[in-house]
Amino acid sequence: MTTTAATVLAVVWLAAGTGPADAHVLEGARLFRENRFAEALVEFRVAERLGAAEARAYAGAALVKLDRPEDALELFEGPGAPAPGAHPLLDYYHALACYGARLYRCADQLLATVGERTGPRIAEQARQIRRDIASALPAEPPADSVDWYLARAAERAAGGRTVLARAFAAEARALGAGRPDRHGVAQAEAVLAKLPPSAAPLAP
Amino acid sequence: VILPLLAAALLAQTSPDPRDPCAPVTPGSPDPAAAETYEAVADEERAAGREESAVAAYRAALERDAGRGGARAALEGMCAARRREKAFTDGLARVRSGDCRGALPSLDEARRAGDPAAALLAGVCRYQLGEDDGAADALREAAGDEETRASAELYLGLLALRGGRPGEASPLFRAAAADPGLAPVARALARDARQEGRVVLALLGEASWDSNVDAAPRRALGAEDVGDAVGGATALLTVAPWRERGPYVRGAFTLQEQARRDAYDLLATSLAAGLPLGPGTRRLLLEYGWDLRRVGGAPYLSAHRLLAEGRAVVREGLTAGAAYALRGETFHGAELEDDSGLRHGFQLDVTAALRRARVTVGWQGGWNGARVEPRASTEHGPLLGLSAPLTPRVRVVLELALAWRVWRAVDPDLEVRRRDSYLDAATRLELDLAERWTAYLGVAGRRTSSNVPDLRYGRVVPTAGISYTAGLF
């Protein structure tokens, strides 16, 4: 840990609330800083159980680090999730979760809002990811790609993971809308109509 | 207040976590209420398939309340699975690097933890190392699990076959054939098992067309009728009381009748006694044999022969072999007596299993010590063999050999020292009609070259046949 980080940790520790949930959030943050993401996730989950609603998004960030993007996405977009734009760093992790789940439109939208608010290093990484997405996404998305997202949405809906189903259906709708024949758009909207609304909606 | 800390944390770069999540849990300050929350989180993480965080949460629960039996059992179960997985992965890596013996400690550790895949791999390794008893124990364990049963039965069948128990092997192979991935191999082995025993009887009948019965010079081909149809039958009986682990005797009787050229009718009898030594991975075979041939109803050749042949497994799927044969030949009849003498032969080869095919590459040669120098010769050349299944019941066999022969002295009639070369090629398509019946279609050909133009000739022999092989006792 750097001296600056240790100082920040000490200051925050002293300044933080004394409730049991805050202590677990702090412990989770310390573990996260030490790259102990599984233990950090546990602390954030415990904090959430003890009433720290904001810990849910931090758990999402830990899941991104643990390479569980779909699990993370359920926390970033499920009930109790912070609205996009509330904190740029959480938006950045939310975008990484979208990117890991191959939800490139979702990732691009979030990264566009991150801007310079997270500092120069993250901002540069966000720009690089956006460049990668722009070069990977063709102007007219192939119908096969739209179908792939629709199939994923159906699978996740069948498995009861409605947050993911909504995310994949929304991606399919956005991709299909980029085609002259609007392939799959109606199908995606039909899927979305059957699903509960997102707790943290992005622009359609 | 917390956000700056989280910001610092979330900006962290990833690096490996050196902590062992399955080390003994060190008790901390008792806090049963917190322990209960940690255990609830652990159960959720485990249900979500997030093993790493589940282990961390169970540890946190036990640090605060060592008496939580459910958390302890769950943690021990997950850590045992991790250790088993690691031991199996270590063992598998060693097997893949060709170190089967070095893999055994890890595989046995995983096996003791109840991993059937490790039991299977340990069994296969011990089978390859020739440790049949240990292999059987491990494979029987693997056969108890549905996922590894078919492969384990296949190797148990191979063990039974190697142990001289084909009757036990055959049903194991048939059971293994239920797995579509193993079916081709298992069916072939089941067939082989049905064809093995203490007494093996093989009967073969075939019809062929020999395009050049008397090896007439190439220029004679077409100029006169040099071909003839041939019908033949062979009976072969092998008695091996200890199967492949002890001495055996073998007798063969062959009859070939030409349709028109009775002078080339063949009657051949061959008797042999042999002794195999060593395990399957390093095999030495010693054999004595006696051959008698009559051609056209008259005595043609009698020969005593000795054979020493060794074969060793170099590594998985690769064997090397060496053979030496010594024949004392006596030709009968005034024109042939001078060909009599001692003949030495050798062969060196390697045989590799490439996917489902078997490829043999080697070099063979001989020294023909005929009693009259112009009839004596030396020869050598490469050989290539390929055998591959086309379908579970059809195989193709291809054999190629080239020999350069140099005669030892000037031929008094030709007034030249002969230098010949012989290119032999044969291919055969074998179809398993039933476990004991096999039909085949083949074609063999020879093309010779010589510094004496009149001795160059070609020959093609297409053949169709059927064989019956039965193992008894």
Which residues of chain B lie closer than 8 angstroms to A30, CB-CB? 5, 9
Q: Percentage of residues in chain B with pLDDT exceeding 70? A: 94
Please determine, for residue B5, whether its predicted confidence score (pLDDT) is greater than 60: no
CA distance A185 to chain B (A): 32
Choose the weakest-confidence range: A4-18, A71-85, B38-52, B347-361.
A4-18
Q: Tell the burial category of A55 from Cβ atoms under 10 Å away from its Cβ (0-12, 13-18, 19+).
A: buried
Count of C-beta atoms within a 10 Å radius of residue A120: 8
Shortest alpha-carbon distance between residue B15 and chain A (Å): 6
Indicate if the pLDDT at residue A199 is higher than 60. Answer: no
Mutate to test the interface with A, among B29, B39, B43, B53 (most CBs of A within 10 A): B53
- pLDDT tens for B120-177 read 999 999 998 889 999 999 999 999 998 899 899 999 998 988 887 777 888 888 888 7
Q: Name chain A contacts of B55, Cβ cutoff 8 Å.
A: 38
Yes or no, beta carbons of B48 and A93 under 8 Å apart: no
Element (H, E) at B35: helix B32-47
The tens digit of pLDDT for each residue in B212-227 reads 888 877 655 555 667 8
What is the DSSP annotation of B226-243? --EEEEEEEEEEEE-TTG
Selecting from B1, B14, B60 the residue whose C-beta is nearest the C-beta of A12 gives B1
Contacts of A46 in chain B (CB under 8 A): 34, 37-38, 41, 57, 60
Cβ <8 Å between A61 and B10: yes
Res. B61 pLDDT band, cuts 50 70 90: very high
Contact between B212 and B218 (Cβ < 8 Å): no
A188–chain B nearest CA distance, Å: 27
- In chain B, residues with a C-beta closer than 8 Å to the C-beta of A35 are 12-17
In Å, what is the CA distance from B307 to each residue of A31, A46, B348?
74, 79, 14
When CB atoms are compared, the residue of B6, B9, B41 closest to A42 is B41
Is there a contact between B134 and B119 (Cβ–Cβ < 8 Å)? no
Average pLDDT, chain A: 85
Examine the pLDDT at A14 and tell me if it is beyond 70.
Answer: no
Which residues on neighbouring strands pair with residue B256, listed in sequence order? B232, B266
Tens of pLDDT, residue by residue over B95-126, are: 888 888 999 999 999 998 888 999 999 999 99
Measuring CA to CA, which residue among B161, B228, B147 is closest to residue B189? B161
Mutating which of A43, A45, A54, A122 best tests the B interface, going by the most B Cβ atoms within 10 A? A45
Question: Contacts of residue A47 in chain B, CB cutoff 8 Å?
Answer: none
Angstrom CA distances, A53 to A21, A22, A95, stand at: 9, 11, 20
The share of chain A scoring above pLDDT 70, in percent, equals 88
pLDDT tier for residue B6 given thresholds of 50, 70 and 90: low
Q: Is B21 an 8 Å CB contact of chain A?
A: yes
Query: What is the per-residue pLDDT for B206?
Result: 94
pLDDT for the residue numbered A13 = 44
Cβ of B42 within 8 Å of Cβ of A42? The answer is: yes
Q: State whether B40 and A49 contact (CB < 8 Å).
A: yes
Q: How far is CA B365 from the centre of its chain?
A: 24
Nearest to B195 by CA among B128, B240, B132, B233: B240
Q: Does B55 touch chain A (CB under 8 A)?
A: yes
pLDDT in the model for residue B175 = 83
Q: B149: phi > 0 → left, psi -120 to 50 → alpha, else beta; which?
A: alpha
Closest residue on chain B to A45 (Cα): B41
* The pairing of beta strand B266-277 with beta strand B282-295: antiparallel
How far does CA A204 lie from the centroid of its chain?
16
Residue B52 Cα, gap to closest chain A Cα (Å)? 6
